[in-house]
Structures are given as C-alpha cells and as structure tokens.
Structure 1
C-alpha cells in the first residue's frame, strides 16, 4: 500500500519548455483539470486549467506560470493514506510522488487512492456498517470487539473521526460481516454505547463507482 505502487503512468508531467495551450490539450485528452510540472527531474508544483484560463495567454510558456502546490507530494514509501491526506490538504485530485532525493516519480490520482483505500478496508465485502458516538476516554476496540463477537459477528474494518458537534466525542464507524444488525445493535445499546447510524449494504454491487460510493458512505463523507 505504498504510494509508488499506485502511480498513474497515463498522466504526463509538463516541462518548462511546454506551452499553456499544450497543457490544456493534455488536460482535455486525459480528462483532468490539473497536471504536475517537472523541471530537471524535480517536482515544481501543479498547474490547473483555471490558472491558465485566468492568464488568458495560450502561447505562454509553462516556465512563465507560477505553479501551485509545491508541497503537494509524498515520498514513494509513504502509505496510500498519506496521499489522501495531502490531496485533502491541497484541495486537489492529484498528488506527486518523489523519492528521498526529491526526484519526481509520477502522480497518484485521488480516484486511484480511494480505490486502493477501499480495497484495504474490505469495502467490497458483504455486510453492514454501524456508526457509534462516544467519548474518546470510553473508546476500547477490545471491549467493542468482544461484544460484537459475542453476537457471532466480526469487525472487518474500523474508522475513527472527530464528532463535528462535540469536540470531546468521536465517531466510530464499523464494517461488520453480518447484514442482520438487530441483535448487535441491542447488545451494544445494553452496554451503554450510543448508535447514531447504520447502513445495510446491498448484496450485489459492481464497478469502480459502486466501490467508491461504498467507501464514501463508510467514511461518512
């Protein structure tokens, strides 16, 4: 799950000697709104179609345009999670990958990162999703796992996020291997856990969009 494993080789980097009109042509061809800029093997940032349109000079050289997101990169040995974190930080759907000497290796798209993340979280496995709200001090995965396994179910994956309504609480999202949640929900509530949402997943899903949709629902985005 390291970043270099998910480099998208179909996305070409722009050179300083290229022109803005070439960048727009490439963006249209590969259906993206952003491309990396590389000079002498070094990542120099990202150029968006919005930036080019704002300058309104298709003959302008890439060297004359100041790229954005100079820090929008991860090292090749970083986890795919870091790709998603950096993409979110820079509000972009593309993150550069470099080695430890900062040599450019390629880019990972947000779509590819999400697909990899979905695979790692067993998103495609049949089951259901539970969302619990609790104080951080009350969080114990060992205890929660014990309760759920007592109902002959298993946790396939879990995700913790902060509760936007209460800074002292967290939301714990659990992917379970069971579609029937009635007894599990009752048992968790009996032990004092507060359930704020649940999702019964469809049995038949296929395709990239289904997988990404399931991931976003799992992450509660």
Structure 2
C-alpha cells in the first residue's frame, strides 16, 4: 500500500490575505488542530487552532500573525512510522506534504495514517507480543532474531519501546506456536521478560519455590 495515496486536498489551505475571522470559521467547520498557510504553492507554515482563537481582531489579515506559524511538514517519501512521529512531536492531526520542489501537495490526516498502520501485517497477523529487557551495551537485534528463529518462531517486527539508565526494553511481535519456548531461550541469553504471559512456566516455578520457602521459614 502506497501511503501517498492518502494525500488529501479536501480542506483548502489559508492564505496571507485571509482574515482571522475566516480562519476561525474554518476551524469551527473542520475538526483539525492546524490549518496550512500557503502562498504561490509554497507552504509558509501552519496555524494552530489554539493560537488563532486567542486573536481578538477578527478583521485583521493572517499576514499580521505570521509569527504564530508552526513549521512542520513531510515529503512524498516519508514512511508511516516517520509520519506518526511528526504527528506526535507537533501534537497535530494533519501534516502538510511537499514535493521535491518544496511545493505544497496537500496533507495527511492522522486518522488515515493510523488506519494504514492498523491494517499492516505487523498489527493484524496472528502473533504474540513479548517485551524483553537487557543492558543496552549487550543488546543485539541479530541475536534476538536468531533466538526467535532457532526456536521455531517468526519475527514480524521489533522496536526499542523504552530506555532507562543503561537498560533498553524491546517490544517483539512474534508468530509462533510455542511462545514459552522462545521466552525460555531469551532468559538463557540473559534477557529479562517484562511482559506477563498466561501459563508462564518459569514464573510459576519461581512462585512455587517462593511459597515453599515461606512455608519452611514459618515452621
């Protein structure tokens, strides 16, 4: 699926000669956080709804408020993950799209990009999600892949989901008939399993030993 198929032009951009009143009306008509400001096919930036609403002079032209413009955009070659980062970094529901000549093509809508991501095999294929943890200096993607594949699993994807001090947590999407065998193998390679899983034999064994020790101490 080509993400560029989702470039939209339904909502027309604002222009410098437009009034604050017009911008406010457009924000009331469309449930988006930003409006693009375009002049001669060139993107000048994007106005945030919260900034426009603070302007009292409704008859003023938008040109007088260029200092309120936010500068974020993407190009035609952006990936879904790159787009999601731009959405998050700018707390926006639209992203302007520029071509190679830096001319405005349209925009991406957050809902559309989320739909594309949610229908990818990474999300839809039947799989197990496992979160592991290890020292960042000892973590190896190649090693994790080898552990999974040598124990009958298929790695659909992985990403570093958290960093704290010198540790990293890695979220794995794994297609397998026996996730417990893979978790056991990860532990042998000193990866800590952060996620909880039903019928985890290792944790059950630790719990049983703990219960036995507690009973022993109470004797």
TM-score normalised per structure 1: 0.76
The 5-angstrom pairing of residues 58-207 of structure 1 reads 58-66=58-66, 67-70=68-71, 72-120=72-120, 122-163=122-163, 165-166=164-165, 168-178=166-176, 181-198=179-196
Aligned residues: 197
Whole-Å Cα distance in 2 between the matches of residues 65 and 90 of structure 1?
19
Larger radius of gyration: 2
CA deviation string 1:33-63 (max 9, x = no partner): 2111101111011112211221123333222
Gaps of 5+ in 1: 201-221
1:179–1:111: structure 2 CA closer, same or farther, 3 Å change rule? farther
Higher relative contact order (CA 8 A, sep 6+): 1
TM-score normalised per structure 2: 0.77
Alignment match, 1:210: none
Following superposition, the deviation at residue 122 of structure 1 comes to 1.6
1:56–1:159: structure 2 CA closer, same or farther, 3 Å change rule? same
**Is the contact made by 2:153 and 2:177 (CA closer than 8 Å) also made in structure 1?**
no
